[in-house]
Structure 1
Amino acid sequence: MSSIGNGGNTKEQFINHVMALPVFDTHTHLVGDRLSARDFWEIAHYFWLFRELQAGGYPADAEKLPEEERIAAFLNAYKETRSTLMNWTFTAIMRELYRIEIKDAESIREAIAAVKRSSTDEGWAQQTADRLNIRRFVVNHPEHAVFEGMREHAVLIPRIDGAIGKWVDRVAQSADPAGEFLGVRSEISQLLGSYGAAGLPGVMTTLPAYETSAHIRYTISDSSTRDEIMMELLHAVCAASEQNGLLVQLFLGVERSWCGTAFPVNDTERILKLTALFEKYSCSFELVLASELNNLDAVQAAWNFPNVHIGGMWWFNFRASTYRDSMQYRLEALPASKSSVIVSDARCMEWSFGKIMLVKKLAAEFLWERLESGWIDEETALHTARQWLFESASKRYAMKEKHLTAKG
């Protein structure tokens, strides 16, 4: 077994060290009063695994099947997708949390009973998080932020993409677009002012495809396009964020307008068109990407602009291959404090556990390879892991004491 580094740790010791480090899950869909899966099928039908199972022959309406037929269909699709990443993650969830190996119908029935038991355990969510030292979670809706049965509430970073869409509609449909825009800009200032006063770290938004660029300023009028209105609203959001000390999280790379489902788009100008925002406003930005070819663009933006940081991998970017490439880009170009690597996108604590186990393993293996080949030493490798997994996000979100108050 190979050993290397100042401490002479073996690969197994190094990986175990990384696996024990604290984690900040920077984007989830967790709901505070139902953190754990309510039944086995909530875990088995998690979107990412479900897509892979469907590719393996699992019916889209499996929930309508009688239980035994559903179990048989799931088992067949599970075996068919043994090589896929989400199959690996689901298998790890069953193995690590429930000590169950999915191999036949009886093992699925055992899993159904085990998840039913855990769903009634008030301490299960915290115990699950503790197994991987997951200390903090981010949610985007105020009503989801009170985490029942947990030592800490979630960190709230409100999402405003729904509001942006409505603001664009109001301006575009108004008989007086210029006047309506001024009204909306005032609303943005007041809304983000309230977030700053509440001690929230920032705001989050997704963005659709846009033909405009932030370096061109537009005077809103009857002839303004929706893209021009949206870009000017982004300027207003950034100005208000700067004024109130807020972070702006930009989730980029998913399109929903071409068909009935979301799809990744590797737009070579997606980040380029936003760079004037990074240059003009002193607020911090965090880029979270869903498209593989934009990973290097994000690193270039973070390299060029001190206030730009990179978040974890989102949607179609959550692949072992893209993680490895992105980690290499980040390691060689950026201080570790400019980057976070955890975005579980989970809807239950079990999937936060499974996806974070995967990312921790990938990060540990990647850093060990860099260590073993002589590019970094052990101290640098562990410093990088700590920043990527927890410390950079904790600092970036500038969490104020009142926002960190644990549940009484």
Structure 2
Amino acid sequence: MATLRGVVTKHINETPVLDIHTHIYSAAFGDLLLRGPEALITYHYLQAETNRVLEDMTPAEWMALTTPQQARLVWQKLFVERSPISEAARGVVTAWKRLGVPSVRDYDGVLKHFAGLSASQMIDLVFKTANVSGVVMTNDPFNPAEQAVWFGGQQRDQRFRAALRIDAIILDWAATWQKVQQMGYNVSRDLPESTYPEITRFLKDWAARMHPVYMAASLPPSFMMPDDSPSGRILAQAVLPACRDLGIPFAMMIGVKKRIMPELGDAGDGEGLANLDSVSHLCRAYPHNKFLLTVLARENHHEAIVLARKFRNLHVFGCWWFNNNPSIVEEITRERVEMLGLSMTPQHSDARILDQLVYKWAHSRKVIAEVLCEKYGYLIEEGWYPGEDEIARDVAMLFGGEFERFVRM
């Protein structure tokens, strides 16, 4: 068993991973790429955690502080006055240690350590340290800063793949249709039949620009299909035809309740239980479409796995947001392996800060290794001895290979 653990750990640590859902960007996107100690320590997980222990300011006052002010206060409250044992706080320590910081207890020293690094240098350092071969970004066609890059013709960093994010089109057409119209598409707010092909044309034109791996939307727990609302009609009559014609999946990230504590901004979002009958309907009614799925409510994961067993055109992935804690990652990964074998993607980072790639993958690799050791151990007990080449193959499947197969399918 000691030899098995060593082989599994070796391949888990040495196999580069394709991170299939992030919010980080290549250097060409400028300030959209968040990086460095202050960005890491003021990530919204830590903003929410710090807000819990502030006694002398309101949440709105806390969020109104500058980033350097917030960073100092997070450091004081979560790293000086308390041990950093939450997953997000521990992650900061992991990232700094693995990125070569001499003393993770010296905040000023940490700032000096990273000062002067260019975006390209930081990307190279983080990707090498995290052993990440590539990432899938989250790309908004309505963001002027992103538009400048896509229309600018810069040479692309091949490590960064695009995902066409279309929340605004699906969830808020009333506030989005004029933006689409201003880009040269004959669309109307009231969605006459002539509007759907124009939305499809818009999506295909942006796909030709971005070459996305998939289209994606973050959806509320109330998401339902079939549905005669604008959201349901746009999805059925414009988005899914575009995805089908392009041969790319539609990624559903279901379960976020936006701004349940609005004063905290992104730190104020919550989660809710979704009705996954919608997913079953989509997979059954649109067999020539491919769907990616991750869910925010822990209680939804078992049903999501069962659905993936039934529908070949559904691929479950990652432990998203509030699920990205080792105890939950272990539970979900074990359950997926037990019901799906290797035909899933156990994790994605969802990183919004470049530096997070380091700790999110370091922590997840350790959990995934434990699950694989257990499962291979059961096989050995019954006389099935996996070879090292087989273990290497399996890990490569979990770290992007199975996702690539699904996308090409």
Q: How high is the TM-score relative to the length of structure 1?
A: 0.79
Percent sequence identity over matched residues?
Answer: 17
Q: CA deviation at 1:292?
A: 0.7
Residue in 2 that maps onto 1:266: 273
Change (3 A) 1:70 1:321: closer
**Residue 57 of structure 2 is aligned to residue 50 of structure 1:** no
Identify which of 327, 334, 348 aligns with 2:333.
327
Contact 1:37 1:115 in 2 (8 A): no
Deviates more, 1:243-252 or 1:186-195: 186-195
The corresponding residue for 1:100 is 102
Superposed, 1:64-143 pairs within 5 Å as 64=65, 71=72, 74-79=75-80, 80-103=82-105, 107-117=106-116, 119-120=117-118, 122-141=120-139, 143=146
The correspondence for 1:161, drawn from 167, 174, 177, is: 167
Q: What is the match of residue 283 of structure 2?
A: 278
- The aligned runs of 1:7-406 (5 Å cut-off) are 9-33=3-27, 34=30, 39-57=36-54, 61=62, 64=65, 71=72, 74-79=75-80, 80-103=82-105, 107-117=106-116, 119-120=117-118, 122-141=120-139, 143=146, 152-167=158-173, 180-195=191-206, 197=208, 199-210=211-222, 212-214=224-226, 218=228, 228-236=229-237, 237-256=239-258, 258-260=260-262, 261-267=268-274, 269=275, 271-281=276-286, 282-336=288-342, 338-374=343-379, 377-379=385-387, 381-398=391-408
Gaps of 5+ in 1: 4-8, 172-176, 219-227, 400-408
Q: Could you say what secondary structure the match of 1:123 adopts?
A: helix
* 3-state DSSP of counterpart to 1:201: strand
**Compared CA separation, residues 277 and 149, structure 1 to 2 (3 A):** closer
The number of residues matched between the two structures is: 371
Q: Is the 8 A contact 2:221 2:273 kept in 1?
A: no
Q: Mean alpha-carbon deviation: is it higher for 317-326 or for 34-43?
A: 34-43
Secondary structure of the 1:98 match is: coil
Q: Distance in 1 between matches of 2:174 and 2:119?
A: 45
Correspondence for 1:403:
none
Q: CA deviation at 1:258?
A: 4.7
- Deviation, 1:64, is 4.3
1:188–1:51 distance in 2 versus 1, CA, 3 Å: same
Distance of 2:69 and 2:247 partners within structure 1? 55
C-alpha contact 1:252 1:288 (8 A) present in aligned 2: yes
| C-alpha RMSD of matched pairs (Å) | 3.5
The aligned amino acid for 1:319 is N
Report the 3-state secondary structure (helix = DSSP H, G, I; strand = E; otherwise coil) of the residue aligned with 1:157.
strand
Q: 1:89 to 1:170 in 2, by over 3 A?
A: closer
Q: Residues 208-234 of structure 1: CA distance to partner in whole angstroms, max 9, x if unpaired? A: 2437442xx64xxxxxxxxx3322222
Secondary structure at the aligned position of 2:220 is classed as coil
Deviation at 1:343, TM superposition (A): 2.1
